[in-house]
Amino acid sequence: MPVRMELSRILIRELNDFQVIELREVVEGNGAPQPEAEVRSFPIVIGLPEAQAIERRLKGIPIKRPQTHDLLANVVTALGGELVSISVTDLNDHTYYATLDIRTASGEVIHVDSRPSDAIALGISGGVPIYVEESVIESASRDEA
């Protein structure tokens, strides 16, 4: 069963070959704060261009011309589609797999293969929900241990 997650932080170190984003479980309840131990999270290693795109979109920094993630968002919209969610569906050999969950003009939801970093860069500025399969969270926890 998919678990609702959110981007909790992004670590950019431009001198490194890799950057890190962290996804954290969204705990919905009676409004009472949850003990930190109950909230699950895990890191995903991403590239610098993706990290910069996520950061730019989080901060709402305008650019003169569309970059790749902007282009894809524009194409989806121009074709009458809407990005409704991002799903992290698998973790295999330290590689995460995700889909862009797009509602087409006809109302059908299609799932387009994506890297999680690209999906998050595309959906973050629109507040698109992120879902992670329970098996991925469990596998990520084992990989960290």
- pLDDT averaged per 10 residues in sequence order, the chain, 145 residues: 94 86 85 64 92 91 89 94 97 95 97 96 91 95 69
User: Contact, 99 vs 115, CB < 8 A?
Assistant: no
Verdict on whether the full-model pTM lies above 0.75: yes
pLDDT at res. 1: 87
Give the Cα separation of 118 and 81 in Å (integer).
18
- Output phi, psi for 113, to 5 deg: -55, 135
DSSP secondary structure code for residue 32 in this structure: P
**Tokens 């069963």, residue located:** 1
Q: Which residues pair with 118 in a beta bridge?
A: none
Contact 55, 10 (CB under 8 A): yes
Residues 6+ apart with CB under 8 A from 35: none
Q: Which CATH class is domain 2-144?
A: alpha beta
Instruction: Pull the structure tokens for residue 38.
Output: 């109950």
